Amino acid sequence: MAQSYKSSDKIDTFLSDHILRIIMNRPEKKNALTVAMYSKMTEFLSQAEIDENVRIILIGGAGGSFTSGNDLKDFLENPPRDKSSPVFAFMNAISQMEKPVIAAVEGLAVGIGTTMLLHCDLVYAGKNSKFLLPFVNLGLCPEAGSSFLLPPLVGARNATELLFLGEPFSAERAKELGLINGILEDSEVLKYAEQQARKLALKSQTSIRLTKAMLKRKYGQIIKDTISEEAELLMKRLASPEAAEAFAAFFEHRQADFEKFNK
Protein backbone atom coordinates (compact mmCIF):
# COMPACT_ATOMS: atom_id res chain seq x y z
CA MET A 1 0.00 0.00 0.00
CA ALA A 2 1.05 3.62 -0.43
CA GLN A 3 3.07 5.25 2.32
CA SER A 4 2.03 8.46 4.03
CA TYR A 5 3.76 10.71 6.55
CA LYS A 6 2.40 13.46 8.77
CA SER A 7 3.97 15.54 11.53
CA SER A 8 2.26 17.96 13.91
CA ASP A 9 2.91 19.31 17.41
CA LYS A 10 5.90 17.03 18.05
CA ILE A 11 3.94 13.92 17.06
CA ASP A 12 4.96 12.14 13.86
CA THR A 13 2.92 9.53 12.07
CA PHE A 14 3.92 7.17 9.30
CA LEU A 15 1.53 4.77 7.59
CA SER A 16 2.74 1.79 5.57
CA ASP A 17 1.84 -1.90 5.36
CA HIS A 18 -1.44 -1.02 7.15
CA ILE A 19 0.56 -0.04 10.26
CA LEU A 20 0.19 3.47 11.66
CA ARG A 21 3.27 4.46 13.61
CA ILE A 22 2.68 7.26 16.13
CA ILE A 23 6.02 8.60 17.30
CA MET A 24 6.45 11.11 20.13
CA ASN A 25 9.18 13.36 18.74
CA ARG A 26 10.50 15.82 21.30
CA PRO A 27 13.86 14.22 22.05
CA GLU A 28 15.39 17.35 23.57
CA LYS A 29 12.88 16.94 26.42
CA LYS A 30 12.93 13.13 26.37
CA ASN A 31 9.50 13.31 24.71
CA ALA A 32 7.84 15.00 27.69
CA LEU A 33 4.18 15.41 26.76
CA THR A 34 2.47 18.75 26.34
CA VAL A 35 -1.23 19.47 26.06
CA ALA A 36 -0.80 19.92 22.31
CA MET A 37 0.93 16.54 22.01
CA TYR A 38 -1.89 14.83 23.91
CA SER A 39 -4.46 16.44 21.61
CA LYS A 40 -2.61 15.37 18.49
CA MET A 41 -2.14 11.76 19.67
CA THR A 42 -5.85 11.56 20.50
CA GLU A 43 -6.66 12.89 17.03
CA PHE A 44 -4.40 10.34 15.34
CA LEU A 45 -5.83 7.47 17.41
CA SER A 46 -9.39 8.51 16.59
CA GLN A 47 -8.60 8.76 12.89
CA ALA A 48 -6.85 5.39 12.94
CA GLU A 49 -9.89 3.70 14.42
CA ILE A 50 -12.06 4.63 11.42
CA ASP A 51 -9.41 4.51 8.67
CA GLU A 52 -9.80 1.27 6.70
CA ASN A 53 -6.14 1.46 5.67
CA VAL A 54 -5.03 1.22 9.30
CA ARG A 55 -5.03 -2.22 10.87
CA ILE A 56 -2.42 -1.86 13.62
CA ILE A 57 -1.24 1.13 15.67
CA LEU A 58 2.38 1.23 16.83
CA ILE A 59 3.43 3.81 19.43
CA GLY A 60 7.05 4.76 20.06
CA GLY A 61 9.36 7.61 20.96
CA ALA A 62 12.18 9.36 19.12
CA GLY A 63 15.73 9.93 20.28
CA GLY A 64 16.12 6.96 22.62
CA SER A 65 13.22 7.69 24.98
CA PHE A 66 9.60 6.59 25.03
CA THR A 67 8.37 9.52 27.14
CA SER A 68 9.45 11.16 30.38
CA GLY A 69 5.79 11.77 31.18
CA ASN A 70 4.05 15.11 31.47
CA ASP A 71 5.96 18.29 30.76
CA LEU A 72 5.41 19.68 34.26
CA LYS A 73 5.80 23.32 33.21
CA ASP A 74 3.22 22.93 30.47
CA PHE A 75 1.04 20.82 32.77
CA LEU A 76 0.99 23.54 35.44
CA GLU A 77 0.32 26.27 32.90
CA ASN A 78 -2.47 24.24 31.30
CA PRO A 79 -3.86 22.00 34.06
CA PRO A 80 -6.82 19.75 33.30
CA ARG A 81 -9.98 21.68 34.17
CA ASP A 82 -12.48 18.92 33.52
CA LYS A 83 -12.73 15.39 32.15
CA SER A 84 -12.70 16.63 28.56
CA SER A 85 -9.16 17.99 28.99
CA PRO A 86 -6.59 16.67 26.48
CA VAL A 87 -4.80 14.40 28.95
CA PHE A 88 -8.03 12.62 29.91
CA ALA A 89 -9.24 12.53 26.31
CA PHE A 90 -6.04 10.68 25.39
CA MET A 91 -6.49 8.19 28.25
CA ASN A 92 -10.02 7.43 27.13
CA ALA A 93 -9.03 7.16 23.48
CA ILE A 94 -6.20 4.68 23.99
CA SER A 95 -8.20 2.64 26.52
CA GLN A 96 -11.12 2.23 24.11
CA MET A 97 -9.24 1.39 20.92
CA GLU A 98 -10.77 -1.56 19.10
CA LYS A 99 -7.78 -2.05 16.80
CA PRO A 100 -4.58 -3.57 18.20
CA VAL A 101 -2.08 -1.18 19.75
CA ILE A 102 1.60 -2.12 20.10
CA ALA A 103 4.18 -0.12 22.08
CA ALA A 104 7.93 0.01 21.43
CA VAL A 105 9.64 1.36 24.56
CA GLU A 106 13.17 2.73 24.66
CA GLY A 107 14.70 4.65 27.54
CA LEU A 108 12.35 6.41 29.93
CA ALA A 109 8.71 5.48 30.39
CA VAL A 110 7.58 7.78 33.21
CA GLY A 111 4.06 8.26 34.55
CA ILE A 112 1.70 8.14 31.59
CA GLY A 113 4.62 6.57 29.73
CA THR A 114 4.06 3.48 31.86
CA THR A 115 0.31 3.66 32.47
CA MET A 116 -0.52 3.95 28.76
CA LEU A 117 1.21 0.58 28.31
CA LEU A 118 -1.60 -0.99 30.35
CA HIS A 119 -3.89 -0.25 27.40
CA CYS A 120 -1.55 -1.59 24.71
CA ASP A 121 -2.04 -5.13 23.49
CA LEU A 122 1.64 -5.92 23.01
CA VAL A 123 4.61 -4.12 24.58
CA TYR A 124 8.29 -4.57 23.75
CA ALA A 125 11.10 -2.74 25.52
CA GLY A 126 14.81 -2.10 25.19
CA LYS A 127 17.05 -3.67 27.79
CA ASN A 128 18.01 -0.25 29.17
CA SER A 129 14.44 0.98 29.53
CA LYS A 130 13.38 2.49 32.86
CA PHE A 131 9.82 2.57 34.11
CA LEU A 132 8.47 4.85 36.83
CA LEU A 133 5.11 5.59 38.48
CA PRO A 134 5.88 8.81 40.40
CA PHE A 135 2.36 9.89 41.36
CA VAL A 136 2.73 9.68 45.16
CA ASN A 137 6.12 11.40 44.91
CA LEU A 138 4.35 14.34 43.25
CA GLY A 139 1.54 14.46 45.80
CA LEU A 140 -0.86 13.06 43.20
CA CYS A 141 -2.71 9.78 42.64
CA PRO A 142 -2.76 7.01 40.02
CA GLU A 143 -4.22 7.76 36.58
CA ALA A 144 -5.21 6.16 33.26
CA GLY A 145 -7.02 3.36 35.06
CA SER A 146 -3.81 2.09 36.64
CA SER A 147 -5.33 1.70 40.12
CA PHE A 148 -7.61 -0.97 38.65
CA LEU A 149 -5.41 -2.48 35.95
CA LEU A 150 -2.12 -2.89 37.81
CA PRO A 151 -3.14 -5.26 40.67
CA PRO A 152 -4.46 -8.12 38.49
CA LEU A 153 -1.59 -7.71 36.05
CA VAL A 154 1.40 -7.53 38.40
CA GLY A 155 -0.16 -8.70 41.69
CA ALA A 156 -1.59 -6.58 44.50
CA ARG A 157 1.65 -6.47 46.53
CA ASN A 158 3.73 -5.46 43.53
CA ALA A 159 1.19 -2.84 42.45
CA THR A 160 1.26 -1.35 45.93
CA GLU A 161 5.04 -1.22 45.96
CA LEU A 162 5.27 0.38 42.51
CA LEU A 163 2.67 3.03 43.32
CA PHE A 164 3.58 3.74 46.95
CA LEU A 165 7.35 4.02 46.52
CA GLY A 166 7.44 5.46 43.02
CA GLU A 167 10.89 4.09 42.34
CA PRO A 168 12.27 3.35 38.87
CA PHE A 169 12.35 -0.27 37.74
CA SER A 170 14.11 -2.06 34.92
CA ALA A 171 12.95 -3.81 31.79
CA GLU A 172 13.84 -7.11 33.46
CA ARG A 173 11.54 -6.26 36.37
CA ALA A 174 8.81 -5.12 33.99
CA LYS A 175 9.02 -8.44 32.13
CA GLU A 176 8.96 -10.38 35.40
CA LEU A 177 5.83 -8.49 36.44
CA GLY A 178 4.10 -9.11 33.10
CA LEU A 179 4.04 -5.44 32.14
CA ILE A 180 5.90 -6.08 28.88
CA ASN A 181 6.04 -8.99 26.44
CA GLY A 182 9.73 -9.01 25.64
CA ILE A 183 13.12 -7.34 25.95
CA LEU A 184 15.32 -6.45 22.98
CA GLU A 185 18.52 -4.59 22.34
CA ASP A 186 17.62 -0.91 22.42
CA SER A 187 18.39 -0.48 18.73
CA GLU A 188 16.16 -3.42 17.82
CA VAL A 189 12.96 -2.57 19.73
CA LEU A 190 11.13 -0.61 17.06
CA LYS A 191 12.19 -3.02 14.32
CA TYR A 192 10.94 -6.02 16.29
CA ALA A 193 7.66 -4.29 17.20
CA GLU A 194 7.15 -3.54 13.51
CA GLN A 195 7.76 -7.21 12.66
CA GLN A 196 5.08 -8.23 15.15
CA ALA A 197 2.74 -5.58 13.77
CA ARG A 198 3.22 -6.90 10.22
CA LYS A 199 2.31 -10.40 11.40
CA LEU A 200 -0.92 -9.09 12.89
CA ALA A 201 -1.70 -6.99 9.82
CA LEU A 202 -1.78 -10.16 7.67
CA LYS A 203 -4.26 -11.96 9.90
CA SER A 204 -8.07 -11.72 9.86
CA GLN A 205 -8.73 -8.26 11.22
CA THR A 206 -12.27 -9.19 12.22
CA SER A 207 -10.90 -12.08 14.28
CA ILE A 208 -8.20 -9.89 15.84
CA ARG A 209 -10.66 -7.20 16.91
CA LEU A 210 -13.20 -9.72 18.10
CA THR A 211 -10.53 -11.44 20.19
CA LYS A 212 -9.46 -8.11 21.68
CA ALA A 213 -13.08 -7.27 22.50
CA MET A 214 -13.57 -10.65 24.18
CA LEU A 215 -10.40 -10.26 26.25
CA LYS A 216 -11.63 -6.90 27.51
CA ARG A 217 -15.37 -7.54 27.66
CA LYS A 218 -15.59 -7.84 31.45
CA TYR A 219 -13.54 -4.76 32.18
CA GLY A 220 -14.41 -2.12 29.58
CA GLN A 221 -16.91 -0.17 31.66
CA ILE A 222 -14.90 -0.61 34.85
CA ILE A 223 -11.81 0.83 33.16
CA LYS A 224 -13.83 3.77 31.83
CA ASP A 225 -15.30 4.42 35.28
CA THR A 226 -11.90 4.12 36.95
CA ILE A 227 -10.30 6.62 34.56
CA SER A 228 -13.15 9.01 35.36
CA GLU A 229 -12.83 8.55 39.13
CA GLU A 230 -9.07 8.93 39.01
CA ALA A 231 -9.47 12.09 36.92
CA GLU A 232 -11.67 13.66 39.61
CA LEU A 233 -9.13 12.88 42.29
CA LEU A 234 -6.18 13.94 40.16
CA MET A 235 -7.67 17.39 39.51
CA LYS A 236 -8.21 17.83 43.25
CA ARG A 237 -4.69 16.65 44.04
CA LEU A 238 -3.20 19.08 41.52
CA ALA A 239 -4.69 21.90 43.59
CA SER A 240 -3.33 20.46 46.86
CA PRO A 241 -0.48 21.99 48.90
CA GLU A 242 1.38 18.68 48.70
CA ALA A 243 1.42 18.87 44.90
CA ALA A 244 2.54 22.51 45.04
CA GLU A 245 5.46 21.49 47.26
CA ALA A 246 6.35 18.55 45.01
CA PHE A 247 6.37 20.66 41.84
CA ALA A 248 8.35 23.44 43.53
CA ALA A 249 10.90 20.86 44.69
CA PHE A 250 11.15 19.46 41.16
CA PHE A 251 11.92 22.85 39.62
CA GLU A 252 14.31 23.74 42.46
CA HIS A 253 16.13 20.41 42.10
CA ARG A 254 15.57 19.37 45.72
CA GLN A 255 13.76 16.68 47.70
CA ALA A 256 10.11 17.44 48.40
CA ASP A 257 9.29 17.95 52.09
CA PHE A 258 5.84 16.63 52.95
CA GLU A 259 6.40 16.53 56.71
CA LYS A 260 4.46 19.71 57.46
CA PHE A 261 1.41 18.21 55.70
CA ASN A 262 1.59 14.95 57.66
CA LYS A 263 0.86 16.41 61.10
Judged by DSSP in three states, 100 sits in: coil
Evaluate whether 200 touches 54 at the Cβ level (below 8 Å): no
- The tens digit of pLDDT for each residue in 110-159 reads 999 999 999 999 999 999 999 999 999 999 999 999 999 999 999 999 99
Contacts of 44 (CB under 8 A, 6+ apart): 11, 13, 20, 22
Evaluate whether 107 touches 27 at the Cβ level (below 8 Å): no
Evaluate whether 123 touches 79 at the Cβ level (below 8 Å): no
Indicate the average pLDDT of the chain: 95
**For residue 46, what are the CA distances in angstroms to 39, 109, 127, 172, 239?**
11, 23, 31, 33, 30
What is the reported pLDDT for 1?
A: 54
**For residue 19, what are the CA distances in angstroms to 54, 59, 77, 194?**
6, 10, 35, 8
Eight-state DSSP code of residue 118: G
Reported pTM: 0.95
Confidence of residue 2 (pLDDT cuts 50, 70, 90): low
